[in-house]
Amino acid sequence: MKEKEQVRDMITGRRQSLSQSWTGVHSAKAAINLFGMNEFHEAGSLACYLSTGEEILTGDIIAECWKSGKRVCVPAFERESGSYRLCWFDEGTDLEKGPLTIGQPANPSWVADAALDLMLVPGMAFDSRGGRVGHGGGHYDRLMTGNGYRRSFKVGLAYDFQVLPEVPLEDHDVLMDAVVTETRIMRQGGI
């Protein structure tokens, strides 16, 4: 756990120095790489995160999904269960701030227990093995293993500086099938 905190601290410092224009340019390049993947083209339904200013921005990715007829879902906090679940996200969906101040649908329509073709996953750091260090709450690891989503193709979205030679992993950590940055696509096990 201490190693993960050190990774988070290092990446947080770097991400806080990013300008909006830098983030926009590099996010657009990562999106182009994602759009070139067969898994993205073939996906009929996918999960995506609603980005904050320091992450790979997902607004254009979601818009492209809608344009090409893909169904999109995003995480939202379910008060009854006290955990995050996936809910459908359509054009015009009203948003509110969730418990972590991240936008989420105001009136969630929960995704039934069904596999999604693709999951786009944020993180603090990744490696070429598909390892991922998240923000520390375990929310995404639980999302990726619940409701039949284990079979979904999982893509970590990150900037190049977030890809490390190796990240610390624990037994409960879910590996990515690929990591996409502004300059490359890394599939699990190497480039």
Element of type H or E holding 32: helix 20-35
Report yes or no: 57 and 32 within 8 Å, Cβ to Cβ: no
* Domain extent listing, the chain: 2-187
Report percent pLDDT > 70 for the chain. 95
Report yes or no: 110 and 78 within 8 Å, Cβ to Cβ: yes
Whole-angstrom Cα distance, residue 145 to residue 186? Answer: 22
The model carries a pTM of: 0.93
Element of type H or E holding 27: helix 20-35
pLDDT digits (tens, 9 = 90+) for 53-63: 789 999 999 99
Report the pLDDT value the prediction gives residue 113, as an integer from 0 to 100.
66
Question: pLDDT grade, residue 101 (50/70/90)?
Answer: confident
Does the pLDDT value for residue 105 go beyond 60?
yes
Nearest to 158 by CA among 183, 188, 138: 183
The number of C-alpha atoms within 13 Å of 130 and in the hemisphere containing its C-beta is: 12
CA angle 63, 67, 71 (to 5 degrees): 80
Architecture of domain 2-187: 3-Layer(aba) Sandwich (3.40)
Report the pLDDT value the prediction gives residue 191, as an integer from 0 to 100.
44
